[in-house]
Amino acid sequence: MSPPNEFRARASRNCGNCRTIKRRCDQQLPQCGQCIRMRENCTGYRDKWELVFRDQTNHTIKRSKKKSAKKAASTEVTEVTYSHPPARGLGPNLDEMGVNYFLQDFVSGGRSPSRGYLNYIPTAYSADLEHPTLVTSMAAVGLVALATQQPELVSHACNKYSEAIRHVNFALASPVEAVKDSTLMSVISLGVFEHVSNFESWVRHVKGAAALVIARGKSQFSSPAAILMFNQVRADMTAACLQSIQPFPDDMRELQEEATKNTDTSSAFWLLGVLATRCATLFANVSKNNWDIHASDFIPWSYFLEEAIVLQDDFQHVLALLAIQEPYTTILEFSGETSSIIYNGRYDLYRTSWAIRLWNNSRMVEIVVCEIACWLINKILTTDLAQPAQVHLKLKLKLQELLQIMSKRGEDVLASVPQGLGLISVLESQNFVDSPSHTCVSGGYMLTWNLYTVGKSPVVNDKTRQWIIKQLKGVSKSAGIAMALQLAQDIVEIDLTAN
């Protein structure tokens, strides 16, 4: 007789054919090498997300049963004399609840259609399921997310975070542990905790993650999961550089070049990441040039404008590619009852949370590029009066074009908010508007910077800005993300200045 499911070994990663006849599988992609050699039609592998949750559930059951057995053994003598109430059923402890919630919200996508945007986690997590650094980090983030619904978990989440930091520091002190995927994934996961707290601590954490990526060196890219984690750190580092007006680090750019040898450089996902790093560096260089306007090495504004326009044109090309690779559907809903959830009667439906993140990050960076180009055009129009009238007219027409693009990208971001925050549920081909009492934390984490970028844009009117402020405050209150409130207050000040 086979053992019960909860005591079976970890689910096999072998392909369907190799599992059926119980042979060793080399797990090669896209097809198993054994199947190729035997001229069989490879049936493929199990879904990594399914395996992660199966392993985690089995692991939780095992640990709970062990604890119950140990408790039963220690109380066996006293039970002869004393009567005890019935034992509570098996269930996960708080740490396991945190891990499970993290996997559900950030990996599976929670209320979103499928697949959370931290899509590198299943590979790294499955490879090192019980690594204490990784498990503790995910538990800390999961608990702080759960604490938005259960405030009594706040102190436990903070304690777990402190424990996770100790584990990370111990891992970083070891030459072997420091370069493991599980260590980098732990650091990235804890960045979510910092994002919930405040901007300054989040930036410090992002820089720490970047330093770890650099320390891992060029050999890290042999792992598919490592490419995805590098992309996460690259995206966070770009956001930090844009907000602090710093150029994208040269050593990170060198790693980006190395990573091109191990990734699909024709994908919109990769190309948009490269454009974002170029944008961060352009922004920093323009700002520096503005400070050095009387220096001998001052660079004419037309040089930077040309670079900005080329960059913006590159965005148009890549966004057209993204529309093919990650299409979405626009829904028009003019019911007044949903005005607090759906802005201007429009919301968009994406296939995955990952697609929402990819689209919005690209829109956010393109808005920044357009803002840079608009600033440069205005600078040229007001300082270079010797330009021919025809050149001035051309610049003014380009300015109007850029303002229209910024407005369109902002509208697209706002249309993604209902699904991104889990306010639109998607079941098969049907969708409906819902009003849950708690916004999903991963959705708030994903959209905070996007909303802020649109909210401070010069093309946004007062009505739109007020709606964005309301959404950011809602994210702060419901998802417990303090940074969202900080950014909302910043937009309030911008709004007061504009009026």
- Kindly give, in sequence order, each residue whose CB lies less than 8 Å from that of residue 163, ignoring residues fewer than 6 positions away: 136, 140
At residue 63's C-alpha, the angle toward residues 57 and 65, to 5°, is: 100
- Kindly give, in sequence order, each residue whose CB lies less than 8 Å from that of residue 290, ignoring residues fewer than 6 positions away: none
CB 161 within 8 A of CB 178: no
Kindly list the distances between the CA atom of residue 272 and the CA atoms of 283, 297, 341, in Å, as whole numbers in the listed order: 16, 31, 29
Which amino acid appears at position 39 of this protein? R
Nearest-angstrom CA–CA distance, 199 and 242: 13
Count of domains for the chain: 2
> What percent of the residues of the chain are helix, what percent strand, and what percent coil, each to the nearest 5?
70, 5, 25
CB 188 within 8 A of CB 229: yes
Residue 334: count other Cβ atoms within 10 Å of its Cβ.
Answer: 10
Phi first, then psi: what are they for 90, rounded to 5°?
-65, 140
Domain contains 169? no
At residue 71's C-alpha, the angle toward residues 69 and 73, to 5°, is: 70
Domain contains 497? no
Query: Which of the listed residues 426, 459, 476 is the one where a domain comes to its end?
Result: 426
Nearest-angstrom CA–CA distance, 418 and 118: 19
pLDDT confidence of residue 151: 81
The torsion defined by the Cα of 254, 256, 261 and 263, in degrees rounded to 10, comes to 170
Domain contains 343? yes
Phi first, then psi: what are they for 421, rounded to 5°?
-90, 5
For the chain, residues with pLDDT lower than 70 are: 1-13, 20-22, 29-30, 38-39, 45-92, 108-130, 195-198, 292, 295, 334-339, 425-439, 498-499
**Is residue 5 exposed (0-12), middle (13-18) or buried (19+ Cβ within 10 Å)?**
exposed
The two structure tokens encoding residue 157: 């989440």
Phi first, then psi: what are they for 330, rounded to 5°?
-100, 130
Enter the DSSP assignment of 77. T
pLDDT confidence of residue 233: 92
Query: What tens digit of pLDDT does each residue of 389-415 get?
Result: 888 899 999 999 999 999 999 999 999
Per the structure, the complete domain to which residue 23 belongs is given by 13-46
Nearest-angstrom CA–CA distance, 278 and 320: 19
CATH number of the domain at 32, please. Answer: 4.10.240
Query: Which of the listed residues 386, 411, 426 is the one where a domain comes to its end?
Result: 426
pLDDT confidence of residue 125: 59
Domain contains 383? yes
- Kindly give, in sequence order, each residue whose CB lies less than 8 Å from that of residue 386, ignoring residues fewer than 6 positions away: none
Domain contains 241? no
Domain contains 252? no
The two structure tokens encoding residue 209: 């993650």
Query: What tens digit of pLDDT does each residue of 425-445 get?
Result: 654 444 544 444 456 777 888
Give residue 44's Cα distance to chain centre.
28
- DSSP character string of 231-260: HHHHHHHHHHHHHHT-PPPHHHHHHHHHHG
Domain contains 495? no
pTM of the entire predicted model: 0.74
Query: Which of the listed residues 426, 446, 472 is the one where a domain comes to its end?
Result: 426
Q: Hey, is 346 helix, strand or coil?
A: strand
- Kindly give, in sequence order, each residue whose CB lies less than 8 Å from that of residue 200, ignoring residues fewer than 6 positions away: none
Domain contains 380? yes
pLDDT confidence of residue 60: 42
